[in-house]
């Protein structure tokens, strides 16, 4: 698939030009951009043991570990749990509402800007970058960038600025991350909490999957300089945020499972053996039908290369919303 011609124009309109390059290390490890809560009737069910966060690292970056790769068993457990929650929910008569159809679901968003100090280098990004990120989410999930329109829209409720050197940088899986989220997270299962700052291990972001019970860890963490107008070269048009919110709404990577098995559990994303980097047009790593979905938001390509969700992904996100996050 080719790039949508006006994609770059759409993303940089009204955004400051990038003048600083994000330093990248030289050893590639084959990973790049990435990427938990329901009702009483489900209490007898056992949730998947997987607590992995889906993460995203820079091209050429060195991560201590790859926390976002799920094993086939972990995927089977997650899919079985989703089916069990939907079945239990279908039997209930005390829900405030039935399943949400393909109407617009407006998700309230609380953004926490984590800072070391009051300088830009210390994480103090302007409100304009946060507002631009919300705009990118709305364009991406509405299909305005060229993909399928999903049911989701996003409304910024609050920007919460926190200066705390103990939480900066944000270290994935650390006690400091847990302390930060436990202290700051707001809202219920349907409120998206986004944490912005400098991140550990060359990561661009990570996110939690939805699960039956709300956890204080629920939410999305994104490198602040990956927002529109940031300094993260090739990753500064806001699509790290789009990618991680996709995980928060229950999407796997397009390369989940490689060329075999159920892959990402979405039928209209062609199988892909491994993450795609940069923008390798025509890349085809599996013998099954279709070239690699390099323009999909759930791959690892540059922001300028990705622009779409598929109809199957839109349906999967809505199904998961009804199972885990709907009131």
Residues 6+ apart with CB under 8 A from 89: 38, 39, 41, 42, 95, 99, 322, 323
Q: Give the model's pLDDT for residue 142.
A: 97
Q: Give the model's pLDDT for residue 39.
A: 36
Q: Give the model's pLDDT for residue 20.
A: 24
Q: Give the model's pLDDT for residue 270.
A: 97
Domain span at residue 235? 104-243
Cα angle 128-277-130, degrees, rounded to a multiple of 5: 10
Which of 220, 217, 215, 175 shows the shortest CA–CA distance to 195? 220
Specify the pairing of strand 192-197 against strand 105-115: parallel
Give the C-alpha separation, 92 to 83, whole Å: 15
Low-confidence ranges of the chain (pLDDT < 50): 1-53, 62-66
Q: Give the model's pLDDT for residue 64.
A: 37
Residue 148 lies in a domain: yes
What pTM value is reported for the model?
Answer: 0.82
Residue 79 lies in a domain: no
Q: Can you give the CATH number for the domain in which 129 is found? A: 3.40.390.10
Residue 257 lies in a domain: no
| pLDDT, tens digit (0-9, with 9 covering 90-100), for 182-217 | 999 999 999 999 999 999 988 999 999 999 999 999
Enter the tokens of residue 224: 């602040």
- How many folded domains does the chain comprise? 1
Give the C-alpha separation, 139 to 326, whole Å: 22
Which of 299, 302, 292, 249 shows the shortest CA–CA distance to 275? 299
Residue 156 lies in a domain: yes
Q: Give the model's pLDDT for residue 128.
A: 98
Which of 292, 289, 270, 267 shows the shortest CA–CA distance to 279? 292
Q: Give the model's pLDDT for residue 70.
A: 82
| pLDDT, tens digit (0-9, with 9 covering 90-100), for 209-251 | 999 999 999 999 999 999 999 999 999 999 999 999 999 999 9
Residues with active-site annotation: 244
Residue 134 lies in a domain: yes
Residues 6+ apart with CB under 8 A from 121: none
Residue 204 lies in a domain: yes
Q: Give the model's pLDDT for residue 19.
A: 24
Which of 129, 198, 115 shows the shortest CA–CA distance to 160? 115
Q: Give the model's pLDDT for residue 260.
A: 86
Residue 185 lies in a domain: yes
Q: What is the 3-state secondary structure (H, E, C) of the chain?
A: CCCCCCHHHHHHCCCCCCCCCCCCCCCCCCCCCCCCCCCHHHCCCCCCCCCCCEEEECCCCCCCCCCCCCCHHHHHHHHHHHHHHHHHHHHCCCCCCCCCCCCCEEEEEEEEEEECCCCCCCCCCCHHHHHHHHHHHHHHHHCCCCCCCCCEEEEEEEEEEEECHHHCCECCCCHHHHHHHHHHCCCCCCCEEEEEECECCCEEEEECCCCCCCCCCCCEEEEHHHCCCCCCCCCCCCHHHHHHHHHHCCCCCCCCCCCCCCCCCCCCCCCCCCCCCCCCCCCCCCCCCCCCCCCECCCCCCCCCCCECCHHHHHHHHHHHHHHHCC
Tally of CB atoms within 10 A around 247: 25
Residue 9 lies in a domain: no
């Amino acid at each position: 698939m080719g790039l949508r011609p006006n994609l770059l124009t759409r993303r940089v309109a009204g955004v400051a030009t990038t003048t600083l390059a994000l330093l990248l290390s030289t050893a590639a490890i084959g990973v790049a951009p990435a990427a938990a809560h329901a009702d009483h009737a489900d209490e007898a069910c056992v949730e998947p043991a997987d607590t992995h966060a889906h993460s995203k690292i820079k091209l050429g970056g060195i991560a201590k570990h790859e926390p976002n790769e799920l094993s086939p068993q972990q995927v089977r457990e997650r899919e079985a749990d989703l089916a069990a929650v939907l079945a239990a929910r279908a039997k209930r008569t005390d829900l405030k509402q039935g399943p949400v159809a393909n109407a617009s679901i407006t998700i309230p968003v609380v953004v926490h800007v984590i800072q070391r100090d009051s300088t830009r280098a210390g994480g103090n990004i302007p409100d304009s970058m946060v507002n631009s990120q919300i705009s990118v989410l709305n364009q991406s999930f509405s299909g305005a960038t060229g993909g399928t329109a999903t049911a989701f829209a996003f409304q910024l409720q609050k920007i919460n600025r926190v200066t705390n050197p103990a939480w900066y940088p944000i270290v994935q899986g650390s006690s400091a991350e847990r302390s930060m989220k436990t202290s700051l997270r707001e809202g219920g299962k349907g409120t998206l909490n986004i944490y912005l700052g400098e991140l550990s291990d060359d990561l661009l972001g990570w996110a939690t999957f939805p699960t039956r019970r709300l956890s204080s860890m629920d939410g999305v963490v994104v490198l602040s300089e990956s927002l529109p107008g940031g300094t993260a070269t090739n990753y500064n048009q806001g699509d790290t945020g789009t990618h991680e919110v996709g995980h928060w709404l229950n999407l796997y990577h397009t390369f989940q499972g490689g060329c075999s098995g159920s892959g990402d559990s979405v039928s209209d994303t062609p199988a892909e053996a491994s993450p795609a980097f940069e923008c390798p047009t025509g890349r085809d790593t599996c013998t099954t039908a279709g070239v690699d979905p390099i323009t999909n938001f759930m791959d690892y390509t540059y922001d300028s290369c990705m622009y779409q969700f598929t109809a199957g992904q839109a349906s999967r996100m809505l199904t998961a919303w009804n199972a885990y996050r709907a009131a």
